Homo-oligomer: A and B are copies of this chain.
């Protein structure tokens, strides 16, 4: 049996992981206002969530709070950033320089959170050869050669019909994690990480909630 912290190997629940960047941005604001310590009850009240959920979520990191004092703001921020992988910058390729792909290339916020797009790939001759925000766009056939540099993260923003095909190309070329912005459920081996972020799925949830609210208020 391997030694080491059991927590490191156990899977952190996705809902908890998704909340962590919220704590992080909240803590950064608190730090700006000069706060040195902050308690879970305080965070919870401010953010409108359950206090025990805050402590449970934060317990997945290696930070421990102090009774009657709370957490030290600065170390907690540092721990969260490193725990979430925001401190080291990973390189990524983007596949599909259409409307959404172009949009993402314009967002430099990604680099701040540890992801730097170093090249993009497409088949459209109108975009191949150009650069967007300093990122060169190559024909997808060049991907296998280019991947010598070893990016293991791929951003998938191709049209729905090409999703699975491009996914296969990505995996064959050594991509280990796919950030999938298409609404397609792509199929990959177990060793490949897939993160689905379909904006339209979120839009669907919003429309539904809005519909339910407006029909119940009548």
Give the one of A198, A200, A204 with max B CB within 10 A: A204
Name the contact of A102 in the complex, choosing from B28, B99, B106 (C-beta under 8 A).
Answer: B106
Within 8 Å CB of A21, what residues of B?
183, 198, 200-201, 204
- Which of A120-128, A139-147, A208-216 lines the interface with chain B? A208-216
A207 with B22: in contact, given A49-B185, A215-B9 (CB under 8 Å)?
A: no
CB distance from A130 to the nearest CB of B (A): 15
Stretch of A34-42, A69-77, A107-115 lying at the B interface = A107-115
**Bound Cα distance A176, B106 (Å):** 29
A161 to B116, CA, bound (A): 24
Q: Given that A26-B185, A113-B200 are contacting pairs, would A205 and B18 also be in contact in the complex, using a CB cutoff of 8 Å?
A: yes
Query: Which bucket holds chain A's interface residue count?
Result: 35 or more
- The DSSP consensus for interface residues of chain A is helix
Contact A107 B100 (CB under 8 A): yes
In the assembled complex, the CB of A123 is this many whole angstroms from the nearest CB of chain B, namely: 18
Residue in B83, B113, B203 whose beta carbon sits within 8 Å of that of A113 in the complex? B203
Beta-carbon contact of B191 and A9 below 8 Å: no
Enumerate chain B residues within 8 angstroms of A85, measured Cβ to Cβ: 203-204, 207-208, 210-211
B22:A185 contact, CB within 8 angstroms? yes
**A131 on the interface (CB 8 Å rule)?**
no
